Amino acid sequence: MATAAGAPMVQAQGSGKITGRILFKGVPPEPMKIRMAADPRCQQANPNGAERRQIDGKNGGLTNVIVSIKTKVKGTFPPLTTPVVLDQSGCMYTPAVIGLMVGQPLKMRNSDETLHNIHPRPVVNEGFNVGQPRKGMETEKKFDKPETFFPVSCDVHPWMRSYIAVFDHPFFTTTKEDGSFEIPNVPPGEYEIEAQHPTLKIMTGKVVVKAGAAGVVDITYTLK
């Protein structure tokens, strides 16, 4: 079974957890209109047009942020075996951000009746460019080194873009629409956590986790 990008199936490591919210202050930029006229099948899938919000969320919370533990956690963490799905549907990538463990499968699926290609451009890992010309096609790939956000895009439909981060541990998650997050199964300790957003700089915060309890940390971005 594939899992949503923001809900890695963490093996039991500890009894604590890290929760909190990623927030933003300021006025987000206007959404960008996407022109899909070049491919009629994309236009049919989006008869009212489509747009991309660089800063998205609800109630001051920021979604599409990958939150992870930056501090080295003791122990060995075998790769998660459940694939994370990157779906190409309605000529858009879903989800917008993906967290993966080293060696965890990324399952790329074409749910459209048109050609898509999946072209990640990592710096540390080896890139690839997979073409999926037909609906229902699926391809699995893995990354073998930890790496912060790198873009994955479709060269045929340049507006299609997602971001992938790769970790050597399972302690990461994606913020929900209201910016909230929860990293479960965290061993007790003092941690630095890191927030990655596709268009904003990396932010960090500190939190203490006690056995069986939640350590809470919020991080706030100030938009210029």
Partner 1 sequence: MSLLALALLAGWATSNTAQIAKGREVYETACILCHGKDGAGNPEWESEIRPVSFADCGTTAEPSALWKSVVVNGGPKHGLADVMPAFGEAFPPDELDAVVAYLRTFCKTADRYPPGDLNFRRLLATGKAFPEAEAVLKTKIVPDEGETEMEFVYENRLGPRFQYELEFPVRPAATNEGYGAGLGDVVVSGKYVLAFNPARLRILSGGLEAALPTGSEKKELGSGTTVFVPFLAFGQGIGSTVFQTKLSVELPANTSKASRTFKYSVGYSLPPIGLARTGYIAALELTGSYNRQNRSHEQTAVIGVSKALNKLGHVIASVGMGIPLRPSEGPKPKEFRAYLLWDFGDGPFWTGW
Residues contributing to the site for partner 1 (CB under 8 A): 38-39, 114-115, 117-119, 127-134, 137, 139, 155-158
**Which H or E element spans position 205?**
strand 203-209
**Cα–Cα dist 134/3, whole Å:** 23
72 versus 134: smaller Cβ distance to partner 1: 134
**AA identity, residue 187:** P
Q: Which residues pair with 205 in a beta bridge?
A: 193
- Compute the least distance from the CB of residue 37 to partner 1, in Å: 8
Token representation of residue 162: 């997602």
Q: Which residues pair with 131 in a beta bridge?
A: 117
132 versus 174: smaller Cβ distance to partner 1: 132
Q: Parallel, antiparallel, or unpaired: how do β-strands 138-141 and 130-132 relate?
A: unpaired
- Compute the least distance from the CB of residue 132 to partner 1, in Å: 7
- Compute the least distance from the CB of residue 174 to partner 1, in Å: 27
Q: Which of 71, 69, 83, 88 is nearest to 159 (CA)?
A: 88
33 versus 72: smaller Cβ distance to partner 1: 33
**Cα–Cα dist 150/143, whole Å:** 12
159 versus 172: smaller Cβ distance to partner 1: 159
- Compute the least distance from the CB of residue 34 to partner 1, in Å: 12
**AA identity, residue 135:** K
Q: Are 19 and 100 in contact (CB under 8 A)?
A: no
Q: Are 111 and 99 in contact (CB under 8 A)?
A: no
49 versus 127: smaller Cβ distance to partner 1: 127
114 versus 196: smaller Cβ distance to partner 1: 114
- Compute the least distance from the CB of residue 114 to partner 1, in Å: 8
Q: Is 132 exposed, middle or buried (0-12, 13-18, 19+ CB in 10 A)?
A: buried
- Compute the least distance from the CB of residue 146 to partner 1, in Å: 23
CA quadruple 159, 165, 170, 173: dihedral positive or negative? negative
